[in-house]
A and B are shown apart, each in its own frame.
Chain A
Amino acid sequence: MASFLRSAKLASRLTQGPTKCFSRNYADQMNFTFAAANQIFYANKNIKQVDVPSFSGSFGILPNHVPTLAVLRPGVVTVYEDEGTSKKIFVSSGTITVNEDSSVQVLAEEAHPIEDIDGSAARQVLQEAQSQLSTASGDVAKAEAAIAVEVAEALVLAAGN
């Protein structure tokens, strides 16, 4: 009897789960702003989902995401638009803000669509950054060079996609 009850509960949970997920996915609006100092990509647009790289790990944001603050890591932001298309944009650094009213702000220092990235130029940047890191002296210079390497690596990865 007890096992039957448990399985019934499980079944109900299983049947409820996807519907909940479904409602989270499509029923709500997401007020999405994605801007960089060089370009505005989205201003208060409604989108399905956005995947962002952050220092506490990459994560996806759907409507009604729990409010959070995070710092962008160099990498690719993927935006799934309402029409079903997706866009991949490389970001260097910045912030992610998810507010309680389901508005999301992704603010980058510099951002470009990955189609615009030249792979060979990115590899060259990476080489330069690596040689700079090996010759850097002093803590500040080393940290700066390490950041440059990190950005360049992300850039090469993004260009390879």
Chain B
Amino acid sequence: MTRIVSGERCATANYGSTPKQTAVPRLRLVLITRERPITRLQSAYPLFDPAVQFLDHLHGHYPDQHQPIQRSVVTRTKSFFIFYCLPNNSTMMMISKPTTMVVCLKGAATGQQQNRNMATLKQISMRLKSVTNIQKITQSMKMVSAAKYARAERELRQARPYGEGVRAFFEKSGATEAVETGDNNKLIVAITSDRGLCGAVHTNVAKTIRNELSTESVESPQSKVFCVGDKSRALLQRLYAQNIAVVANEVGRKPPTFLDASKVANELVQLDFNSGKIVYNRFKTVVSYQTEEVPLLSAKTMLAAPKLQLYDSIDQGVMESYQEFTVAALLYYTMKESACSEQSSRMTAMDNASKNAAEMIGKLTLTFNRTRQAVITRELIEIISGAAALE
């Protein structure tokens, strides 16, 4: 899975100062784990040792660092991101897990905690303050999403019979599968939103679509993706940018309305597709949701449904209007389900984040008090021993 990505994509990450211990003076280098950047390579963390070895190995092979490194396998560093800043200021990033987010924290390395002095005390109090602030933010986000969830859930209860009514025709007429034609251009609609910090709701939708797209061969006509919400676009554009047909954003700030769904549906029916599906998160309970799909059929496919002969007085015009309204209604229903899942998931995620922050605050307070005591004790010892020496 190791890939080398060069260029501007990693330009946003900050790379720290020159590490003193490495023997490569021209190579600025930061090792970023998911938690903290390590500027000092001989750290107290044994886990990083393979990475350090790897960097030594790199240094041995590429002493002048002028050529890019094509491929290297590092053991036990699967979740590390390694940034190199080459002398000409271009950046290289090695990702071992392309799906993991880069969390790059500014600030001092925590490896310095060993020498307990005033400076550390200051650092700990700064860190404590920032964690407390983060906790405040996550707590209030939790409260906000709890209120939004209550509303979304109420509205979803209204929208459920609506969605079931729309789906009833598909189930009863057997119009669930697309007719196999020569050009099977499929359309996948990803129902997400613009907002993050809500657990894995968007990732699950993107993952389902990614799995679907990865089974396609490059030669055959490719499926198109309609992204509702910026998050699905952000998650899919790296690998499947050419599949994305339309993106709808400004989703998620306010609860979805039928007007939103009709706007999306209007764009959607203009795309040429034979069959498709909507991938969304179906809300189950406050703590659970499930990523599901509903079929999305074109008028042509609906006219070819196995039991359609039973239905009376259907012509092309009626079917087209019917299909267009059905698409809008389905989108409305799935957007409601998705919005509710998102809010409930955000509530859980923010609750967890607040708990984690509380835990961190507890640990940091302990360290802070210990350090403070150590400083006091040391000062006392200095004074006493100084006084004793004078006697």
**Cα distance, A75 to B203, chains bound together (Å):** 43
Contact with A along B328-353 (1 / 0, CB 8 A): 11001000000000000000000000
Chain A CB within 8 A of B129 CB = no
Complex contacts, B322 vs chain A, CB 8 Å: 69-71, 95
Instruction: Report which of A33, A37, A43, A55 forms a contact with B318, defined as CB distance below 8 A.
Output: A55
Distance in angstroms from B165 CB to nearest chain A CB is: 4
Contact with B along A58-85 (1 / 0, CB 8 A): 0000000011111100000000000000
Is there an interface contact between A43 and B313, defined as CB atoms closer than 8 Å?
no
**Cα distance, A107 to B163, chains bound together (Å):** 9
Is there an interface contact between A39 and B158, defined as CB atoms closer than 8 Å?
yes
Instruction: Report which of B161, B168, B314, B329 forms a contact with A103, defined as CB distance below 8 A.
Output: B168
Chain A CB within 8 A of B310 CB = yes
**Cα distance, A10 to B311, chains bound together (Å):** 31
Q: Which residue of B lies closest to A97 (CB)?
A: B169
Instruction: Report which of A68, A99, A105 forms a contact with B314, defined as CB distance below 8 A.
Output: A68
Is there an interface contact between B329 and A107, defined as CB atoms closer than 8 Å?
yes
Chain B interface residue count: which class?
20 to 34
Complex contacts, B326 vs chain A, CB 8 Å: 95
Chain A CB within 8 A of B162 CB = yes
Which one of B173, B319, B332 has the highest number of Cβ atoms from chain A below 10 Å of its Cβ?
Answer: B173
**Cα distance, A105 to B326, chains bound together (Å):** 12
**Cα distance, A122 to B168, chains bound together (Å):** 34
Distance in angstroms from A34 CB to nearest chain B CB is: 8
**Given A71-B325, A101-B172, A109-B258: A33 and B164 interface contact (C-beta under 8 Å):** yes
Complex contacts, A100 vs chain B, CB 8 Å: 172, 307, 310
**Cα distance, A52 to B245, chains bound together (Å):** 38
A residues bordering B, Cβ < 8 Å? 33, 35-40, 43-44, 55-56, 66-71, 93-95, 97, 99-101, 103, 105, 107, 109-110
List 10 tightest A-B contacts by C-beta distance, closest first.
A37-B258, A105-B165, A43-B161, A35-B162, A99-B172, A71-B321, A68-B312, A66-B312, A67-B311, A33-B165
